[in-house]
């Protein structure tokens, strides 16, 4: 056995399963959220894995375009790709509502998005999108129609797919020999450093480190040649990957990242056991903050009903006794209830200190953007509760 459990986040509902009023009192599907470390491949993954069809279907609520931070990040990357790689064809795995591909000409792009409710948004704008799961079969189909592609991009998607074998084999089929694969996902070292245990939930099957990803890619003749550290989603890595025969030079950033991870102990189980102890302490502290404020009769609401916050709320048993309601800009989440904890979610309105004392920041990964937006509330003395790197009021 190579896999060792190091974290137990208790019984959890499916993180994006926001409940309609009519289903609020029905029994929810729950699972035990445990996280394990593979001592052989160094890969960190959740233990119980659900089928993609259950999680990514025509009811998927997430929209990439909901945040200015993401829109800006995609725009900047598209400039870089055009300048550096001059692609004729670019394919995106997990194109969501088109926030990235819309930066390119329509005839230049191919989008893959199995959640047809979101895929429809880009198709209606006449982009070439497929409402299908990424697979060898789909890769062959696109190959026959369009030929090989120069660049493949995938943000926050590869870590959601169980069968990495299928993912990388399908990529190899359609990527040109000197093509570039760019993948972007939350970074394990940042998750461990910032105690963001809420990166673990049913959709995030893996949280990659450079060491683990390199081990996996090796099997498919793929090699990381550049890494960019991003602030996105509380710290992500953007990996630039080439085929073995590709001509790109391996840049210094790869070695720098690997050395940093080894120094941090990302390849040792003791690092994960220590993390698990910090998570237990984090839970205690967060509960204490809510209890103290509730004793003082403070009104607390939530900001950003994220999938991540499902993990926190259920792990720490935070429900309507602590948080009156959540505000969220995503229309598919509004007038529903948070999974498991059943806190109502309402349409976003600007925060007002006359009505609210404290705000639990579910979308902590967009803190800078949100604090800018809520300047008035902050100037009026409004406070936020945040759980990373440790629970505190700011």
Min CB(174)–ligand TYD separation in Å: 27
CA dist., res. 86 & res. 80, Å (int): 9
Nearer to ligand TYD, 49 or 250 (CB): 49
Q: What angle do CA 89, 91, 94 make, to 5 degrees?
A: 165
For residue 25, count other CB atoms closer than 10 A to its CB.
9
Sole window of 26-34, 135-143, 218-226, 328-336 interacting with ligand TYD (rule: CB under 6 A) = 328-336
The yes or no reply on residue 329 touching ligand TYD (CB under 6 A) is yes
CA dist., res. 252 & res. 238, Å (int): 14
The yes or no reply on residue 366 touching ligand TYD (CB under 6 A) is yes
Min CB(110)–ligand TYD separation in Å: 24
Burial class (CB in 10 A: 0-12, 13-18, 19+), 351: buried
Min CB(352)–ligand TYD separation in Å: 15
Min CB(102)–ligand TYD separation in Å: 18
The yes or no reply on residue 209 touching ligand TYD (CB under 6 A) is no
Q: Specify the 3-state DSSP secondary structure of 50.
A: coil
The yes or no reply on residue 112 touching ligand TYD (CB under 6 A) is no
Contacts with ligand TYD: how many residues (CB under 6 A)?
19
Min CB(348)–ligand TYD separation in Å: 5
DSSP secondary structure string, 329-389? Answer: S-TTTTTSB-TTT--BEEE-----TTT-SEEEETTGGGHHHHHHHTHHHHHTT-EEEE-SS
The yes or no reply on residue 357 touching ligand TYD (CB under 6 A) is no
Q: Is 297 left (phi over 0), alpha (psi -120 to 50) or beta?
A: left
Q: Is 318 left (phi over 0), alpha (psi -120 to 50) or beta?
A: beta
Tell which positions 27-86 bind ligand TYD, by CB under 6 A: 62, 66-67
Tell which positions 132-161 bind ligand TYD, by CB under 6 A: none
Nearer to ligand TYD, 246 or 304 (CB): 304
CA dist., res. 97 & res. 95, Å (int): 6
Min CB(44)–ligand TYD separation in Å: 18
Min CB(213)–ligand TYD separation in Å: 20
Sole window of 37-45, 82-90, 91-99, 360-368 interacting with ligand TYD (rule: CB under 6 A) = 360-368
* Backbone phi and psi for residue 204, each to the nearest 5 degrees, phi listed first: -90, 85
Using CB under 6 A as the criterion, what x/- string covers residues 332-351 for binding ligand TYD? -x--------------x---
Q: What are the CB-based long-range contacts (under 8 Å, 24+) for 316-324? A: 316/283, 316/286, 316/287, 317/287, 317/341, 318/286, 318/287, 318/290, 318/360, 319/343, 320/344, 321/294, 322/290, 322/294, 323/360, 324/299, 324/300
Structure tokens at 26: 């029905």
Nearer to ligand TYD, 254 or 307 (CB): 307
The yes or no reply on residue 307 touching ligand TYD (CB under 6 A) is yes
Min CB(242)–ligand TYD separation in Å: 29
Using CB under 6 A as the criterion, what x/- string covers residues 372-391 for binding ligand TYD? -x------------------
**Residues forming the site for ligand TYD (CB under 6 A):** 62, 66-67, 304-308, 328-330, 333, 348, 363, 365-366, 369-370, 373
């Amino acid at each position: 056995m190579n896999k060792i459990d190091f974290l137990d986040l208790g019984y959890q509902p499916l993180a994006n399963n926001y409940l309609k009023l009519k289903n609020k009192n029905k029994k929810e599907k729950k699972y035990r959220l445990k996280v394990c470390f593979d001592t052989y491949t160094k890969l960190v993954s959740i233990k119980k894995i659900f089928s993609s069809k259950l999680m990514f279907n025509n009811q998927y609520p997430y929209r990439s375009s909901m945040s200015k931070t993401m829109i800006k990040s995609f725009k900047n990357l598209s400039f870089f790709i055009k300048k550096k790689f001059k692609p004729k064809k670019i394919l995106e795995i997990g194109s969501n509502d088109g926030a990235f591909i819309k930066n390119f000409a329509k005839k230049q792009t191919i989008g893959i998005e199995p959640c047809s409710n979101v895929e429809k948004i880009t198709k209606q704008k006449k982009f070439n999108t497929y409402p299908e799961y990424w697979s060898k079969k789909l890769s062959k189909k696109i190959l026959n129609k369009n030929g090989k592609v120069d660049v493949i991009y995938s943000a926050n998607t590869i870590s959601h797919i169980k069968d990495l074998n299928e993912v990388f084999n399908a990529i190899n089929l359609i990527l040109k020999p000197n093509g570039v694969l760019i993948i972007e996902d939350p970074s394990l070292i940042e998750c461990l450093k910032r105690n963001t245990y809420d990166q673990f939930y049913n959709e995030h099957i893996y949280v990659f480190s450079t060491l683990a990803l390199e081990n996996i890619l090796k099997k498919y003749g793929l090699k990381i040649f550049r890494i960019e550290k991003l602030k996105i989603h509380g710290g992500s890595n953007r990996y630039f990957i080439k085929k073995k025969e590709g001509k790109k030079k391996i840049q210094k950033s790869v070695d720098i990242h690997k050395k940093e991870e080894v120094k941090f102990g990302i390849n040792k189980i003791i690092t994960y056991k220590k993390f698990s102890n910090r998570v237990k302490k984090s839970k205690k502290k967060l509960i204490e903050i809510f209890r103290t404020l509730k004793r003082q009769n403070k009104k607390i609401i939530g900001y950003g009903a994220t999938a991540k916050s499902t993990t926190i709320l259920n792990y720490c048993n935070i429900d309507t006794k602590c948080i009156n309601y959540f505000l969220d800009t995503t229309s598919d989440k509004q007038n529903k209830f948070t999974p498991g904890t059943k806190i109502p979610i309402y349409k976003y309105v600007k925060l007002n200190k006359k009505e609210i004392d404290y705000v639990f920041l579910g979308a902590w990964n967009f803190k800078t953007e949100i604090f800018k937006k809520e300047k008035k509330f902050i100037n009026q003395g409004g406070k936020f509760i945040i759980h990373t790197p440790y629970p505190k009021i700011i």
